[in-house]
Chain A
């Protein structure tokens, strides 16, 4: 069966520090991968998506970047965090054989 792992679950980082959030998928190949950010009362905002290794598309300009070094690995990064980067980050995947998206458990990022 397919599973998705996302870590860490919680992270507190000072302003100006780097960030690396990791997401891995098991049990499927060549999935589409997505990073969403969730802010209270604003639903889920798509940040990045990837249709294959090394292929990243950004939906909104921001202080973050994403990479896909392996088929089932998706990384969200920042060189210097801003206070406004605080939020709940969710990784998700979809494949052509599934209609729905499957989500990780999320990372609560607090920038202080």
Chain B
């Protein structure tokens, strides 16, 4: 079955500290992987994506993620967290639209809420 697991429901870090949010997936085909961020009451904004090539991808706001096929993981990292990074983060997996019959819907994890201490 296709699924995404974000094992941490809530993480609190101090401002300036490093951050790593975990994501593991189960997917039959070669996956497209995504990290989205959501502020309260807002839609989802794409942070970064991986679909091929270099397994370390850079995103917006200083975030990066590393795809590890052997571990089925796509963890999100940031070297120094800012108070404005407090939000909920979602990992998602999907296939290319119309590839192998896929309709392109993304499968999401349940999210990790990040709190930042001053």
Query: A interface vs B, CB < 8 Å?
Result: 6, 32, 34, 36, 41-44, 46, 49, 51, 57, 59, 88, 90, 92, 94-96, 99-106, 108
Closest to B98 in A: A96
A41, A96, A100, A102 pick with most chain B CB within 10 angstroms? A100
CB-CB under 8 A from B104, the residues of chain A are 32, 49, 94, 101
Main secondary structure of the interface of B (DSSP, over half): loop
> In the bound complex, what is the Cα–Cα distance between A99 and B44 (angstroms)?
15
Q: Hey, which chain A residues are within 8 Å of B11, CB to CB?
A: none
CA distance A57 to B105 in the complex (A): 11
Answer whether residue B106 sits at the interface, using C-beta atoms and an 8 A cutoff: yes
CB of B108 within 8 A of CB of A106, answer no
- Distance between A43 CB and nearest chain B CB, rounded to angstroms: 4
Does B74 sit at the interface, judged by CB under 8 A? no
Known contacts A49-B103, A96-B97, A100-B49, A105 near B108 by CB under 8 Å: no
Q: Are B106 and A101 in contact (CB under 8 A)?
A: yes
Query: Which A residues touch B110, using CB under 8 A?
Result: 41-43
Q: Which of B42, B105, B107, B109 has the most CB of A within 10 A?
A: B105
